[in-house]
A and B are shown apart, each in its own frame.
Chain A
Amino acid sequence: MPDPFYTQVVSLVQLVILLLIPLEILLAATVRIRAEYELRDTLASVLVSAGSIYFWGVLGWLFMGGVFFAYAHRLFNVPFTWWSLLIAFVLDDGRYYLWHRVSHRSRWFWASHVVHHSSQHFNLSVNLRQSWTSQFSGLTLLNVPLAFLGFHPATIGLAFSVNLLYQFWIHTEAIDRMPRWFEWLLNTPSHHRVHHARNPRYLDANYAGVFMIWDRLFGTFVAEDREEPARYGLVRDLTTFNPVRIAIHEYVAIARDLLRPGLTLRQRFAYLLAPPGWSHDGTRYTTARLRAAEAARRERSRPPAGPLAAEGVQSLLVAP
Chain B
Amino acid sequence: MLELSIAIGANLLIGALAALLILRAGNRRAQEPRLADPGAALELFRDRFPEAAGVATITADGRNALIELRGGSGIGLLQGHGLRWNARVLEPGDLASVRACAASALRLKFADYGGPRASLSLAHPDERSAWLARLQVLAGSTRRQREGSLHHA
Number of residues of chain A lying within 8 A (CB) of chain B: 51
Stretch at the interface among B35-43, B97-105, B114-122: B114-122
Contact with A along B106-117 (1 / 0, CB 8 A): 000001111110
**Interface status of A1 (Cβ within 8 A of chain B):** no
Residues from chain B with a CB closer than 8 A to the CB of A245 are 113-114, 116
Residues from chain A with a CB closer than 8 A to the CB of B3 are 57
**Contact A57–B14 (Cβ < 8 Å):** no
Number of residues of chain B lying within 8 A (CB) of chain A: 44
**Contact A49–B4 (Cβ < 8 Å):** no
**Contact B84–A233 (Cβ < 8 Å):** yes
**Contact B21–A125 (Cβ < 8 Å):** no
**Interface status of A223 (Cβ within 8 A of chain B):** no
A253 to B114 alpha-carbon distance, docked (Å): 9
**Contact B25–A53 (Cβ < 8 Å):** no
B127-153 residues with Cβ-Cβ distance < 8 A to A are 149-150, 152-153
**Contact B111–A256 (Cβ < 8 Å):** yes
A115 to B111 alpha-carbon distance, docked (Å): 19
A226-275 residues with Cβ-Cβ distance < 8 A to B are 231, 233, 236-241, 245-246, 248-250, 252-253, 256, 260-262
Q: Is the interface of A mostly helix, strand, loop or mixed?
A: helix
A202 → chain B closest CB, angstroms: 15
Residues from chain B with a CB closer than 8 A to the CB of A248 are 113
Which residues of A pack against B, CB within 8 Å? 15, 18-19, 21-22, 25-26, 28-29, 36-43, 45-47, 49-50, 53-54, 57-58, 120-121, 125, 128, 231, 233, 236-241, 245-246, 248-250, 252-253, 256, 260-262, 283, 297
11 contacts between A and B (CB under 8 A): A29-B21, A37-B25, A43-B15, A43-B19, A50-B11, A50-B12, A57-B4, A121-B84, A233-B84, A239-B79, A240-B115
